Structure 1
Amino acid sequence: MKMADCDFSPMKQQIKQDLEQILFDIQQSLVGLDQDKKCLLGKFEQIREKFIQIESAAATFYLNCYLSPFTDKYLDLSISIQNLSARRYGALIVVQRSDPLEDLIQHGIPIGATISHSLLESIFFPGSPLHDGAVLIQSNQIVSAANVLPLSHWSNEGEKLGTRHRAALGLSERSDAIVLVVSEETGKASFASNGSLYPVITT
């Protein structure tokens, strides 16, 4: 997967420190198991949340590395995802990388405008005629909106994905595109790459 020359040292150091803290918490939990009257459920929840925070921080860093060789507008993309997530506006944004997407996408409405976070946010404003579909980005341009993506056949017993997430996965399974998605139900943001979803920090 093509990435910019990112400096991984600070991220790796932070992840190492966070994992060491989790190991300490696990060791304390093992000690706590010998104390019959001590409930560890709260500690387990803290450890689980810390793992999620580490994954999200790493995914956000890698997302920047994946996108920066293909667009100079990462900051606008990041701001728009933050704002859409805060307002719980569902969104689907495709960033084309090396693979052509013409035969994979049912094209929607041409836009042909430079990327800006305000334009992206207005596209996904509820009730907008363009909000129900995917935005296609090539380099620094919003090429089109209301595009239809191929759906993934992904399934996991006990976990259901909405149409936006299945569409994000579907395109990432068939190309090297990065697909950003914001859940309308939860406001959580993630990105799809190589058929997998990764959480993105939005707070």
Structure 2
Amino acid sequence: MVMEPGLSEQMKTQLKNNLRQVTIEIEEMLNTMDSNDCRILSEFEHVHDVFSELQKTAASHYLNAYLSPFTDSYQSFSTAIQHFSERKHGALMAIQRKEPLGPLIHSGTPILANVSHALLESIFYPGSILHDGAVLIKENTIVSAGNVLPLSQQDTKGKKLGTRHRAAVGLSEKSDAIVLVVSEETGRASFALEGTLYPIHPGGLI
């Protein structure tokens, strides 16, 4: 199991303040439920949205902490993911950490170029011959593109996962890799770690 890095004091303060506000809103829901039940569904939706945003904020923070010992290319990932999300371009990026990933993937086309958001965006541009596979990144180098990752077979409890997301989860189940994935259907961005997907803010990776 990966040890979670600690939250910065600024992040702790931000999350605590937001959670306190949610607590106040839940208390208000409890107090008005009997007389104002017609609004309860919209209030539930609001609280759900707030928790979702908090999860994305925390996950984006942890993603940076997980990757920073292994690559200096975080800003390139952030810019590329923001553009992928805005344009709904699907993407799949496996970042090697301590464990070699070569034995777990079907190798694609060698790239051997420095990581840049422009190169990542060209690889995953719709219609590119490499856009359906995954890029393999080691340190600050795009090692290869068009790689095929092992697909997860886990029970998703009714949630429908596309091939990219199943591949992201599958590789993270078998290694310590961080796998970034963007949905071409929704533009939502996530990362996979230890067999779990965590949503992140596409333009807020800090």
Q: Which residue of 2 aligns with 1:43?
A: 43
Q: Which residue of 1 aligns with 2:161?
A: 161
Distance in structure 2 (CA, Å) of the matches to 1:114 and 1:59: 26
Report the identity percentage: 54
Q: Deviations over 1:90-109 (max 9, x none)?
A: 00000000001111010000
Letter in 1 for 2:65: C
Q: Which residue of 1 aligns with 2:133?
A: 133
Q: Which residue of 2 aligns with 1:111?
A: 111
Instruction: Summarize the Cα distance change of 1:32–1:121 in structure 2 as closer, same or farther, 3 Å threshold.
Output: same
Distance in structure 1 (CA, Å) of the matches to 2:13 and 2:7: 11
Letter in 2 for 1:83: H
Check the 8 A contact 1:151/1:166 in 2, yes or no.
Answer: yes
Distance in structure 1 (CA, Å) of the matches to 2:57 and 2:95: 20
Distance in structure 2 (CA, Å) of the matches to 1:134 and 1:20: 40
Pairs within 5 Å for 1:60-75? 60-75=60-75
Q: Which residue of 2 aligns with 1:122?
A: 122
User: Where do 5+ consecutive residues of structure 2 fail to align?
Assistant: none
Residue 79 (structure 2) pairs with residue 91 (structure 1): no
Pairs within 5 Å for 1:1-16? 1=2, 8-16=8-16
User: Where do 5+ consecutive residues of structure 1 fail to align?
Assistant: none
C-alpha RMSD of matched pairs (Å)? 1.4
Residue 155 (structure 2) pairs with residue 150 (structure 1): no
Question: How many residue pairs align between the two structures?
Answer: 202
Letter in 2 for 1:196: T
Distance in structure 2 (CA, Å) of the matches to 1:36 and 1:178: 45
- SS at 1:103 equivalent: helix
Instruction: Summarize the Cα distance change of 1:132–1:38 in structure 2 as closer, same or farther, 3 Å threshold.
Output: closer
Instruction: Summarize the Cα distance change of 1:107–1:34 in structure 2 as closer, same or farther, 3 Å threshold.
Output: same
Q: Which residue of 2 aligns with 1:33?
A: 33
Distance in structure 2 (CA, Å) of the matches to 1:37 and 1:181: 39
Normalising by structure 2, report the TM-score.
0.94
Letter in 1 for 2:185: E
- SS at 1:176 equivalent: coil
Instruction: Summarize the Cα distance change of 1:138–1:40 in structure 2 as closer, same or farther, 3 Å threshold.
Output: same
Residue 172 (structure 2) pairs with residue 189 (structure 1): no
Q: Deviations over 1:119-161 (max 9, x none)?
A: 0000000000110100000000000000000000122333110
